[in-house]
Amino acid sequence: MAALTAVSWSCFLTLSIGVSLLKCLLITTYHSTDFEVHRNWLAITHSLPVSQWYYEATSEWTLDYPPLFAWFEYGLSHIAKYFDKEMLVIQHLNHASPATVLFQRLSVILTDIVFIYTVRECCRCVNGRKESKELLEEPAFILAMLLLWNFGLLIIDHIHFQYNGFLFGFLLLSVARLLQNRHLEGALVFAVLLNLKHIYLYVAPAYGIYLLRSYCFTKSAPDGSVQWSSFSFTRLVALGTIVCSVFAVSFGPFITMGQLPQVLSRLFPFKRGLCHAYWAPNFWALYNAVDKALSILGLKLKLLDADGASKASMTGGLVQEFRHTVLPSVSPLTTFICTLVSITPAVLCLWRKPQGPRGFLRCLIICALGSFMFGWHVHEKAILIAILPLSLMAVDNRRDAGIFIILTTTGHLSLFPLIFTAPEQPIKILLMLLFTIYSLASLQRLFRKEGSLLSWLEAVYLTGLVPLEVFCEVVYPLTSWQQTLPFLPLLLTSVYCALGVTYSFFKLYLSMLTEPEGMQKRKDQ
């Protein structure tokens, strides 16, 4: 259903050029260590033979992305040499000449073209509304705005520095292909994505089950359950061939060189702590906070031994391990099981009564959120894996729009600690306001006939973020707590946001398990 007319096409172009210009303005802003990480990878792939890529360890930022991403860096490095040859020397740690910065920033901005193309494809999958005459109320337009101008992507890619736009381009492209019922293309794109960045393994169960159930089985029984006789072996073979060949291209050379264990050990480092340097607002943030509260309480009531209580601050800004005082400590295996348990019902539901591509999309978001909630060493940036696909559903119905508002606002706010330098504070706040006001106003307008998006409690909760932020950014630095409780703002922000994220997780789950049949039928029409 092509909702893009000529007018909205030019509008889409304006939006994407506009956001690219904004990205260009951000070139001179602060960049995090990820900048050096990627510079180092450029140097590694450029100056070493393939066999050395996953062994090189001059810099602490070793190559820990899958091979296709290394090849991507290799390709970039051949353009980089025209900007500044010095950045391609491995020994030049922390090399950040203006030409290097310009090149790296431009590479992010230009590879975002993949993302822009994808957004266009996604907009085509959105049902146009017949009753709305105004372009600004067109769901496709709102979706384009929500994706292209996503606050998280802007600050992570273009201030903090990473290549997420390009990677999310692949993710959403595969989603769009599945929505368009072009399953093989979708599988191909997703296989490529997995070989670019393996964090997307979290959502792989949704892909696997959906493709198996809705593609390899050509028919469903009338009640929606599996019809075993309709299994198509050729489809399975086609799917398998595509996925395996992508993996063969990517990992094949390393398997022949016998380096697979080394590559895998680089890709999955379990040495890191339960929580990332800044707490992601997930279940473990709540868990840690409860532990902290209990230990303080225990010390007050003299139930705990003061020496035994670990005084380590969990959010000192370093990636470190942390022993819980009262509650049992968490091992990687525990988190793995928790994650698995959290996504199983959704995956099972997808298997037992697939609700078309929309059901898949919902399951994908739940997988992403589930792994975000319970995963080991989760980065707060991982919330984007849930937020971006959720945008697609937010313009589709009111309930998801409400969830979207809560999840984006809390998830985006939890990204605030990533940008901590003073000059970038106003940008961060302004962009956040821009996105939040836009999403609230436009989605509310879109579903104005169906009532308000948020219940009063949710509205109160979201409003609470404002005083919280004011306290953390303005009041807190003026108080003496800065010395005694250095982790307080991060703790407060992540715990408060974790509540919202958990709430939207459960709400999303509920909507998946109880999606009424009537709604389902309406969408199929």
Partner 1 sequence: MRDWSLVSLSVLFGLTARWAVSLSSYSGAGKAPMFGDYEAQRHWQEVTYNLPVEEWYFNTSDNNLLYWGLDYPPLTAYHSLLCAHIAQLINPDWISLHTSRGYESISHKLYMRATVMAADLIVYIPAVLLYSLYFSEGSSKKKVSTMLCMLLYPGLILIDYGHFHVCFPQHWNTYNCVSLGFALWGVLGLALGWDLCGSLAFCLALNYKQMELYHALPFFCYLLGKCTREGLTGKGLTHLLKIAGTVAASFALCWLPFLADPAQALQVLRRLFPVDRGLFEDKVANTWCSLSILVKVKNLLLPQTQLRLSASHTVCVLCLQCIPIVFVSAVHPHTWLFFWLFSVHPHCLCALPVCLLISEIPFMSTWFLQVTTFSMLPLLLKDGLLLPYIVTSLAFLLISITLLSALEQTSEEDLKLKQLFTCRRKHMPWFNAPLLAKSGYILSVLCMAVLSFLSAALSPPARLPDLFPVAISLFSYVHFVGFLIYFNTIHLTELPSKKTEKKTN
Taking CB under 8 A as the criterion, which residues in 483-522 touch partner 1? none
Looking at the Cβ atoms of 204 and 440, the one nearer to partner 1 is 440
Answer yes or no whether residue 299 interacts with partner 1 by CB under 8 A: no
Q: CB of residue 52 vs partner 1: minimum separation in angstroms?
A: 37
Q: Which of 118, 253, 244 is nearest to 192 (CA)?
A: 244
437 part of the interface to partner 1, by CB under 8 A: yes
Query: Which structure tokens are listed for 240?
Result: 């398998």
459 binds partner 1 (CB under 8 A): no
| Residue of 136, 319, 466, 513 interacting with partner 1 (CB under 8 A) | 136
Q: Which range in 85-93, 131-139, 221-229, 329-337 contacts partner 1 by CB under 8 A? A: 131-139
Q: How many CB atoms lie within 10 A of CB 443?
A: 23
Determine if 419 is a binding residue for partner 1 (CB under 8 A). Answer: no
Out of 2, 21, 303, 510, point to the residue binding partner 1 (CB under 8 A): 21
- Looking at beta carbons only, is 132 or 334 nearer to partner 1? 132
Restricted to residues 326-355, the positions that interact with partner 1 (CB under 8 A) are none
One residue of 5, 14, 181, 218 binding partner 1 per CB under 8 A: 14
Triad 397, 181, 365: Cα angle to 5°: 45
| Residues in Cβ contact with 491 at an 8 Å cutoff, skipping those fewer than 6 apart | 279, 289, 292, 315
Q: Which of 79, 260, 319, 433 binds partner 1 (CB under 8 A)?
A: 433
The C-alpha atoms of residue 452 and residue 399 are separated, in whole angstroms, by: 10
Q: Is 29 in the site for partner 1 (CB under 8 A)?
A: yes
Told to check if 422 binds partner 1 by CB under 8 A, we report: yes
**Which of 348, 278, 264, 362 lies closest to 66 in space, CA to CA?**
264
CB of residue 447 to partner 1, shortest distance in Å: 13
Count how many Cα atoms sit within 13 Å of the Cα of residue 10 in the half-sphere of its side chain. 2
- Which of 442, 449, 450 shows the shortest CA–CA distance to 408? 442
Q: CA-CA distance, 133 to 466, in Å (whole number)?
A: 35
**Could you tell me which of 37, 38, 17 has the C-alpha nearest to residue 107?**
38
Binding footprint of partner 1, residue count (CB under 8 A): 31
Judge contact between 324 and 358, C-beta under 8 A. Answer: no
How far apart, in whole angstroms, are the C-alpha atoms of residue 338 and residue 96? 41
Q: Which of 34, 56, 137, 185 binds partner 1 (CB under 8 A)?
A: 137
Residue 320 vs 444, nearer CB to partner 1: 444
Does position 5 interact with partner 1 (CB under 8 A)? The reply is no
Options 26, 147, 155, 512; binder of partner 1; rule CB under 8 A = 26
Give yes or no for residue 245 binding partner 1 (CB under 8 A).
Answer: no
460 near partner 1, judged by CB under 8 A: no
Shortest CB 27 distance to partner 1, Å: 6
Does 79 interact with partner 1 (rule: CB under 8 A)? no
Cα–Cα dist 339/341, whole Å: 5
On whether the CB atoms of residues 368 and 389 are closer than 8 A, the answer is: yes
Label residue 222 exposed, middle or buried (CB < 10 Å: 0-12, 13-18, 19+).
Answer: exposed
| 442 lies in the binding site for partner 1 (CB under 8 A) | yes
Q: Is 11 in the site for partner 1 (CB under 8 A)?
A: yes
E strands of 263-329, at which residues? none
Binding of partner 1 by 423 (CB under 8 A)? yes
3-state secondary structure of 226: strand
Q: Is 466 a binder of partner 1 (CB under 8 A)?
A: no
Maximum Cα interatomic distance, the chain, rounded to a whole number of Å = 72
Beta bridge partners of 231: 217
Give the helix/strand (H/E) hosting 352: helix 332-352
Stretch that binds partner 1, among 244-252, 266-274, 423-431, 473-481 (CB under 8 A): 423-431
Q: Which is nearer to partner 1, 14 or 344 (CB)?
A: 14
- 24: contact with partner 1 by CB under 8 A: yes
Candidates 28, 245, 265, 452: give the one binding partner 1 (CB under 8 A).
Answer: 28
The residue within the footprint of partner 1, chosen from 2, 297, 327, 441 (CB under 8 A), is 441
The structure tokens 């109880």 sit at 514
d(Cα 217, Cα 235) in Å, to the nearest integer?
9
> Which residue among 50, 184, 340, 434 contacts partner 1 (CB under 8 A)?
434
CA geometry: angle 441, 156, 317, nearest 5 deg: 120
Q: Which residues bind partner 1 (CB under 8 A)?
A: 10-11, 14, 17-18, 21-22, 24-29, 134, 136-137, 422-424, 426-427, 430-431, 433-434, 437-438, 440-442, 445
